[in-house]
Structure 1
Amino acid sequence: MKELRMIVAGGGTGGHFFCGVAFAEAFLERYPQSKVVFVGVRQGIEARTHLSDPRMSIRFVQARGVLGKSVFDKVFALFTILGGFFQALGILWSVRPRLVLGVGGYASVPVILAAWMTRPLMRWNIRVIDQNSVPGLANRLFARLGIPAYSGFASPGFREIDLPVRRALRRPQEGARDFVWPPKNILVMGGSQGAKALNQAWIRLLPDLRNFDPDIQVFHQTGAHSLENCRSAYENFQIRAECFVFSDKMADYYQAADLIIARAGALSVFEIMEHQRPCIFVPFPFATHQHQLRNAEAVQSSDWILLETDLKWSKLERLFNSDRPKLPKRRQGVGLQWESVIQA
């Protein structure tokens, strides 16, 4: 098979970049003799992530965000993006991709613009994918330019698809564990942005949690700044717990959990649905356009969605004692499979 090349443009945050990784893995599974080039920014998470597959590589362009910035910063960002545009032209010329996939964030802007402006000459396919229920500014712009646009949730101007899950996080095809209820093992995930506030709210519940079941076990992704505080809290209340900042065994934790308490970033939502676990979503209250709340509302019953201020034992106890725990799922199926996004 002839070698195909795909550029994945975007990043900055894990939600954008790791969505791109999932699509890249799927592309290479379909076209194993091919290569994927990520294009991001040096200040983003993509610059700190090791790509273990030798068929994947990464390059960088200049770009800055404009949302919430001063007038001066917005002007400076536009000039930065202009510089990134010319860098992107050079990358496109050297890689000669069959497909350019934008995964959102300001890091995608110079690459997708460069690809769009040169498409009549170079004939490459361009598509953009947004993870959230409220697409970002960059992807809304690209959709208006006529670029095929896809989203993990229903949104005007975007075709709705399921998001792929990274290979390391997929549910085992054989030997998958069923959850038990009431829960014996709880997985708590605060996300990259909102871990501290969720951790503080959760720690206040530990005395009641121990009274509910002294043998309960917690797996807790704490974030970098709360690791020791959380460990101390579990030790003080004599609750068995594994606390960690990051783990490459998240699929094992998903499988071990009987209940998940998590933010509602798009990738987390689809990973939890992949593993078919009951989940209490606690949306990050400062997410742009409240997209985490909307993500959760798209897949979960309202009584299993709690705001941070509502994360109290009285509400948790009622859910723990419910006869029918709620697994997040779509209200209805989607008509388009995500595999069509990577069709070269």
Structure 2
Amino acid sequence: MSHHGLESAVGIEKPRPKVIVGGVGTGGHYFPAVVVANELQERKFDVVFLARKGFVEETVARQYGVKTFSINPRPFYGKSLIVKFLFVFSLIFSIGRLHALTKHAIGLAFGGFGAVPLVISCMINRSIFYIFEPNRVPGKATQRFAARAKRVFLGLPLLKNINAVTAITGVPIRHEFLESLNQTRSKAPHGAVSILFYGGSQGAQRLNDLALELQKIMPKKWFLTIIAGDRDYARIIRAKGERIRVIPFTEKPWQEIRQADLIISRAGALAGYEILALNKKVIWIPFPYAIDDHQFHNALYFAKLGDALVQKEIDVTADSLARCIGELLRKKRKQGTRIIRDAEKRIVDYLLQDRA
């Protein structure tokens, strides 16, 4: 009897294939990617996480105990010939580095420019690959390669259907968010209202400016926290009053979100899921220059799920924001938001189902 036949006869499970997880990009790419990588490891898959050497995604993957492999794709921003040349050169070089790695492996790409070399390498090797698309309007990489993917996992329902096999899984969020639901909040002074300005991992200059304008007109019981981003931190520190606390960046946003009574936020898919997971009242101010205005469409969807209002950046002023905050604070809190809280398990279930 062959070795393979012997395995089948005694019921020994075939070794699970290697999964190459593409987590290059910003927090919206690498945080969901690392959550899924951990779930794959729990289920005995061999996982390799693609990251740029010395970038945040490499540090995060290692903090969460995931093995990394370095590639250095360049974003395709700008129209100059040198940018196009660097993009193409880095793409070819990254595909070359991945060639041996993606043979007989499964690719799992988490969007953005970092997904492209992984997907193309899988196509060259005729390896199965999956794409995770977090937003309601799919990004360029998803649009281009969705039809060739085994399945496209959707963080949010798409605004329009695409030519692909899709499954709505929700957005994977770090376990610390759900664990923090069981922790008690620090005691605030009687009647104090804590408002968090949350611009995502990079901070958001317009949200920072709104916080500075709001401090001049807000009631005495309101206290603001701004996650300002490294680039804007020094400016905000100089301009803030005594009822504003400023931090440049946090690796533990669940702590700040849990402490807040209300949050002013951009509407990236990951930030939205993180806030809704903690059942917070929120005013979404979508980033108006996001590709295909995807943050606005995300915000409209999120607003249906929780205690939320949507304000367009072009329309919002400190006065209108103060009115919206007052209105939301007076509203009775909903019982809980209808988001999917086990996205990483659903994604890995599909990988196993597709192998069966």
TM-score by length of 2: 0.79
The answer for the alignment partner of 2:4 in structure 1 is: none
Greater gyration radius: 2
The answer for the alignment partner of 2:3 in structure 1 is: none
CA distance in 1, matches of 2:278, 2:308: 21
SS state of the match for residue 253, structure 1? helix
The answer for the alignment partner of 2:6 in structure 1 is: none
CA distance in 2, matches of 1:178, 1:328: 22
SS state of the match for residue 144, structure 1? helix
Give 5+ residue unaligned stretches, structure 1.
none
SS state of the match for residue 321, structure 1? helix
- Contact 2:130–2:149, Cα closer than 8 Å, also in 1: no
Compute the displacement of 1:173 (Å). Answer: 5.2
- Contact 1:10–1:106, Cα closer than 8 Å, also in 2: no
- Contact 1:196–1:225, Cα closer than 8 Å, also in 2: no
* Residues 310/183 of structure 1: CA separation in 2 closer, same or farther (3 Å cut): farther
**One-letter amino acid of the structure 1 residue matched with residue 98 of structure 2:** A
**One-letter amino acid of the structure 2 residue matched with residue 265 of structure 1:** G
CA distance in 2, matches of 1:192, 1:9: 19
* Residues 278/78 of structure 1: CA separation in 2 closer, same or farther (3 Å cut): same
What's the CA shift string for 1:302-332, capped at 9, x where partnerless?
98111233332332232233232677988x8
SS state of the match for residue 150, structure 2? coil
* Residues 179/22 of structure 1: CA separation in 2 closer, same or farther (3 Å cut): farther
CA distance in 1, matches of 2:209, 2:232: 9
The answer for the alignment partner of 1:273 in structure 2 is: 276
- Contact 2:169–2:346, Cα closer than 8 Å, also in 1: no
* Residues 173/230 of structure 1: CA separation in 2 closer, same or farther (3 Å cut): closer
What's the CA shift string for 1:206-259, capped at 9, x where partnerless?
1112xx1x2332222011122233233333xx31x3321222332121111110
Which residue of 190, 194, 197 maps to 2:206? 197
Compute the displacement of 1:176 (Å). Answer: 5.6
The answer for the alignment partner of 2:96 in structure 1 is: 86
Superposition pairs of residues 67-216 of structure 1, within 5 angstroms = 67-70=77-80, 73-93=83-103, 97=105, 99-119=106-126, 125-155=128-158, 156-157=161-162, 158-172=166-180, 174-175=182-183, 184-193=193-202, 195-209=204-218, 212=219, 214-216=220-222
RMSD, matched Cα: 3.3
The answer for the alignment partner of 1:291 in structure 2 is: 294
| Percent of residue pairs identical | 24
The answer for the alignment partner of 1:340 in structure 2 is: 346
Deviates more, 1:259-268 or 1:225-234: 225-234
CA distance in 1, matches of 2:70, 2:275: 32
The answer for the alignment partner of 1:11 in structure 2 is: 24
The answer for the alignment partner of 1:225 in structure 2 is: 231
* Residues 19/294 of structure 1: CA separation in 2 closer, same or farther (3 Å cut): same
CA distance in 1, matches of 2:317, 2:311: 9
The answer for the alignment partner of 1:21 in structure 2 is: 34
Task: Tell me whether 1:320 sits opposite 2:325 in the alignment.
Answer: yes
TM-score by length of 1: 0.82
SS state of the match for residue 310, structure 1? coil
Task: Tell me whether 1:51 sits opposite 2:58 in the alignment.
Answer: no
CA distance in 1, matches of 2:112, 2:192: 37
* Residues 42/149 of structure 1: CA separation in 2 closer, same or farther (3 Å cut): same
CA distance in 1, matches of 2:224, 2:82: 47
CA distance in 1, matches of 2:60, 2:19: 19
* Residues 66/175 of structure 1: CA separation in 2 closer, same or farther (3 Å cut): closer
The answer for the alignment partner of 2:8 in structure 1 is: none
Compute the displacement of 1:271 (Å). Answer: 0.2
* Residues 50/149 of structure 1: CA separation in 2 closer, same or farther (3 Å cut): closer
**One-letter amino acid of the structure 1 residue matched with residue 210 of structure 2:** A
Aligned residue pair count: 326
